[in-house]
Amino acid sequence: PQEGYDDRNWRDPFVLWDEENEEYMLILGTRVGEDKRLMTGRLVKFTSKDLDTWEFQGDWWNPGLYTMFEMPDLFKMGDWWYLVFSEYSDGNKTRYRMSRSINGPWITPADDSFDGRAYYAARTAFDGERRVLFGWVPTRDEGGDPSSYLWGGTFMPLEIVQRADGTLGTKLPDSMLGAFGEAKAVEAFELSCESGKVEQVLAADAGSTYMLDADIELAGDAAGFSVKLAEDAESGLAYEFRANLREGKLEFTAAPQYPWFQVNNMGLERPLFFKGEGTHHVRLVIDDDIATIFVDDVALNARFCNKQGQGVALTVTDGTLKCANATIASL
């Protein structure tokens, strides 16, 4: 590393061609000092005309927000440049920024992450049509659900979707859909509860690997909905992706969390910016102990260890939910 930077944290270089300046640029993550409690993480820049001789250009982006940057990635989609990075910090998420220029200034979108705490170290690849994030869902410590996530885990691709305003969402790559068997239809239904929560079981035994797709329509004043998984039919114990529309968030939790806490779900949440109006697509993918949900183009990954059953259900809280076009495809 250059003088003044932490020699233990100088890594993950990313190289690309800068057409405007007709040179190669290299960015990498580092920090200043050795005290990781301090938010001195930054990206530095080198430039080269021939990929052989490099000139150090100093700090490229130093927001003062993170302990360390990992896996920086820089690409252009349409009129926007995107900077993708993983924060080696308390949030432990893969995030992004956007700009009209390759060198910033970098705009922070309202939702600046691709997933929650259980998706990390993602970089992208482009095949001429799709740009896909390649990251991992980390494993749990030996203590299971109440324990911390470890370093490294199981590969999970998320295909990037560019919205009309330039912000980014994700989806399951279409090429993965064929990995599941023939989809079985679930009859359309309506759930309604003026005060409280009601549930409709979609399958009492969906198996250990399956994909659920459903279109849901909520009354405008509905407080929220959820998808329950690994549910035991007798006890009702399960895990739950819970959309709290009043608080504007999607989270993963145990159902119930009592006694606190059944699942360490710190950082397992995403913002949801809708109040229930319109039709929304929900996709749940279960692969043994990995659960991935997409609500439209908002993704959230989690890992669950203490499965009580294999049921899957939909719920609604303080309102009405209509479910149509629901299918379950199992392996």
DSSP string, 128-172: SS-EEEEEEEEEEPTT-TTSPEEEEEEEEEEEEEE-TTS-EEEE-
Q: Higher-confidence residue: 164 or 90? A: 164
**Predicted pLDDT at 58:** 97
**Predicted pLDDT at 277:** 78
CATH of domain 181-330: 2.60.120.560
Q: Given the structure tokens 């299918």, which residue do they identify? A: 327
Length of the chain equals 331
Q: What is the pLDDT of residues 134-193, one digit of tens each?
A: 999 999 998 899 999 998 999 999 999 999 999 999 999 999 998 998 999 999 999 999
Q: pLDDT-based confidence at 274, cuts 50/70/90?
A: confident
Dihedral sign computed on CA atoms, order 28, 33, 39, 40: negative
CA distance 312 to 133: 28
**Predicted pLDDT at 127:** 96
- pLDDT of 67 > 90? The answer is yes
**Predicted pLDDT at 143:** 84
Share of the chain above pLDDT 90, in %: 92
Share of the chain above pLDDT 70, in %: 100
**Predicted pLDDT at 40:** 97
Q: What is the pLDDT of residues 3-59, one digit of tens each?
A: 999 999 999 999 999 999 999 999 999 999 989 899 999 999 999 999 999 999 999
**Predicted pLDDT at 221:** 87
**Predicted pLDDT at 43:** 98
**Predicted pLDDT at 230:** 97
- Assigned token pair, 81: 């440049």
What are the start and end residues of each CATH 2.60.120.560 domain in the chain?
A: 181-330
Report how far Cα 2 is from the mean position of its chain's Cα atoms: 34
Q: pLDDT-based confidence at 99, cuts 50/70/90?
A: very high
CATH fold for domain 5-175 = Tachylectin-2; Chain A (2.115.10)
Residues 52-76, mean pLDDT to the nearest whole number:
97
Q: Measured between alpha carbons, how far is residue 287 from residues 2, 81, 239, 243 in Å?
A: 44, 34, 14, 21
What are the start and end residues of each CATH 2.115.10.20 domain in the chain?
A: 5-175
**Predicted pLDDT at 161:** 98
Residues 191-199, mean pLDDT to the nearest whole number:
95
